[in-house]
Amino acid sequence: MRIEAMSWAEAIEKAAEEMKLPKDGLTVKEISKPEKKIMGLKKIPGVYEILPKGMEKEEIKEREDVNGTVEVRNGQVLVTDPKGKGVDASLFIHEDQLIVNINGEPVTGNRTLKSQDVIEVSFEHLLPEVHFQVEPSESMLEAYVEIRRKSGKRYRLKNLEKTSRGSLQLEYDALAPDPIDPEQVRKALENYGVLPEFILEDAVKKACESKDSGKFLVAKGKPPVESRKTDIDYCSEIFVKEITRGLEPVVMKGTKLAEKNGEAVEGIPGVDVKGAEIKVQKVKDEELKAAEGAFLDGNAVYAERDGRPYLKKGEIGVVPLLTVVGDLDKDTEDIDFDGDVVVKGNVQDHMVIRATGNISIIGSVYHSELYAEQNIEVQGKVIGGTLRAGDENAVFQTLLPIVEKVILVVEAMFTGLQLTEGRTVQDIMDNISKGKEEIEVLFQEIKQIEEIFIPHQMQVVEEIEKKFAYVFKEIRLLHKEGFIELNTLYERLLSMAEMMREELLDARLIKVYYAQNATLKSSGDVEITGDGSYQSSIVAGSEIRFTKFASVVKGGTLLAGRYIKAGIVGTPSEIQTFLKVLDREGDITGRFYKGTTLMRKDELKEYGAILK
């Protein structure tokens, strides 16, 4: 019984009186001590549990509630039942590799247990794995074996301390995969086609004995001895593309421009792991050649005059440099110079400069004409007038892909002219008709870019188109002249394509700060470095670039072969501005006001207009 009292003695006194037992026949257990609060004014009695001596412990235990338990010991699941109002033990089963049967039935998840339950545990052990496959190098000079090893797992139950709610957990011993038999690898290599003499026996053995996964070199053919091109050292000035800005020439008379240090040497072919020949690059020894403005002396080329060096079609020359200090105006003559021209000043109204090299203006250009076979740079403004760079060949960037397609169509026609087994004359004529239709479509493509041609270029295109019409007429009549003329046209197209490729390798550039009411034409690129352009016509065989983010294109027409990169295009008042790229894969980027028209080839390009 429990007694409240201010002391142990008081509690046992009360209990002896109530239980009618002597004090020494009682046992006392203090549950809580008596307390005094508010400076001793308030007293709180303690609580004491008092029982008669001699009451059996077993009788007390029988009145207690005990839960059932589960434990795992040495792989065995042991269960005890609950006592009193205790609850059964429970076990959570969730491991993928664990199989548990209770009383003959498979179970997963949470399950209550009794001591009489028959619990059987088994495992899905993971067996070790080893796989390999043969992989050649891209050049077929080497062969590798890629081995993937994966250890197995032998599972067992992890011990679990006695608890009323438990979870079965697993632990495992790792099982190493078996080693690979080297003979298996040899057979795999031979089945792949690797010649036995190229198999590296020691490497095969080492790969098979390795305990790691990986890629192992196990066969190697005979590597080729690479060809060596002609060893020529060129002076760095030959490859400088920037236009000269100073007054001095790039090189002085007598400067060594190039020196030949060694002849070309053709390499020795190799053999791949399957026995096939590994070809080496065919090389041809290059001789040093001096062009105008340079001379050959032994194994070196030297400058014969002051000027800018160049390398074109294997020839090294020096372009002379003409420097004008001050403005070019009506008091001076027009310039027609075989070389580079530098004007340190402005080019005033109605002047003409022609140069076979570069033109560099350290100032501005007003209502004048500048024609350069190479590049043009104007550090200031271009107001009115015309600038043209690149031999009038701005169209080549767009025209070349079309010409190459025409060549392919003609080659397909030649193939189709052969009267092989199973082909009839009608098949040949159908092939001719198909070629005719495809070429007509390609000439229509050329006419869509007619606006960037100069007159004599369009005359050449029209002449070739007429010759094709004549060819197809004669071939349909089975006249020999038609086939001869087709071959002549084919040779001419090959020559044209080669010429255009060579011209495009030496890209042209017009670079100005600002253009207003001006015409700029470049067979390569046009670059505007400053505020932009106003009501100007700008044509580029490849790209038009406005390098300043805040530059503005106000009105005019911009036409490029592939790409236009602009800042702001148009004005809030919707000034009409037209931008077009001729390549269907090209693009136009920038920020556009309404009134701007964008076209890619012959299709309008949508854009989100800048709000006013």
Query: pLDDT, tens digit, for every residue of 193-209?
Result: 999 999 999 999 999 99
Bridging pattern class, strands 26-32 and 214-220: unpaired
Among the listed residues 53, 55, 58, 54, the one whose alpha carbon sits nearest the alpha carbon of residue 27 = 53
Sheet with 214-220: strands ordered across: 129-136, 142-150, 214-220
The owner of tokens 């009501």 is 535
pLDDT recorded at residue 454: 74
Instruction: Name every residue whose Cβ is closer than 8 Å to that of residue 118 and which is 6 or more positions away in sequence.
Output: 102, 103, 104
Q: What is the pTM of this model?
A: 0.54
d(CA 347, CA 299): 43
Residue 56 has a pLDDT of 41
- Phi and psi, residue 308, nearest 5°: -105, 125
So what's the pLDDT on residue 55?
58
**Average pLDDT, stretch 336-358?**
92
Region for 54 from its dihedrals, namely left if φ exceeds 0, alpha if ψ lies in -120 to 50, beta otherwise: left
pLDDT tens, residue by residue, 108-125: 999 999 999 999 999 999
The dihedral through the CA atoms of 427, 433, 435, 438 has a sign that is negative
Share of the chain above pLDDT 70, in %: 93
Q: Is the pLDDT of residue 140 over 90?
A: yes
In this prediction, residue 134 carries a pLDDT of 95
pLDDT tier for residue 99 given thresholds of 50, 70 and 90: very high
- In which order are the strands placed within the sheet that holds 160-163? 76-80, 69-73, 160-163
Mind listing the pLDDT tens digit for each residue in 434-448? 999 999 999 988 887
Read off the pLDDT band of 245 (50, 70, 90).
very low
Any residues with CB less than 8 A from the CB of 262 and at least 6 apart, and which?
228, 230, 231
Is the model's pLDDT at 382 over the cut of 60? yes
| Ranges 4-18, 403-417, 474-488, 516-530, most confident | 516-530
The more confident residue out of 455 and 189 is 189
Q: Read off the tokens for 593.
A: 């006001």
The tens digit of pLDDT for each residue in 278-309 reads: 999 999 999 999 999 999 999 999 999 988 89
3-state SS, residue 433: helix
Instruction: Please tell me whether residue 484 adopts helix, strand or coil conformation.
Output: helix
Give yes or no for residue 511 having a pLDDT over 50: yes
C-alpha angle 486-487-488 in degrees, rounded to nearest 5: 90
Classify strands 335-337 and 352-355 as parallel, antiparallel or unpaired.
parallel
CA distance 341 to 378: 12
Question: Which pLDDT value is given to residue 239?
Answer: 79
C-alpha span between 439 and 461 (Å, rounded): 13
CB 204 within 8 A of CB 182: yes
Q: Could you tell me which of 481, 563, 482 has the C-alpha nearest to residue 525?
A: 563
Measuring CA to CA, which residue among 147, 306, 292 is closest to residue 237? 306
The Cα–Cα gap between 541 and 401 comes to 13
Specify the pLDDT at position 412. 87
Could you report the per-residue pLDDT of 522-559, keeping only the tens digit for each?
A: 988 999 999 999 999 999 888 999 999 999 999 999 99
And the tokens for 522?
């470049």
Location of structure tokens 């992890």:
158
pLDDT, mean over the chain: 88
Domain ranges, ordered by start, for the chain: 2-55, 66-221, 231-319, 321-392+509-561, 396-505
Q: Give the E-state strand segments of 517-575 in sequence order.
A: 519-522, 525-540, 543-546, 552-560, 563-569
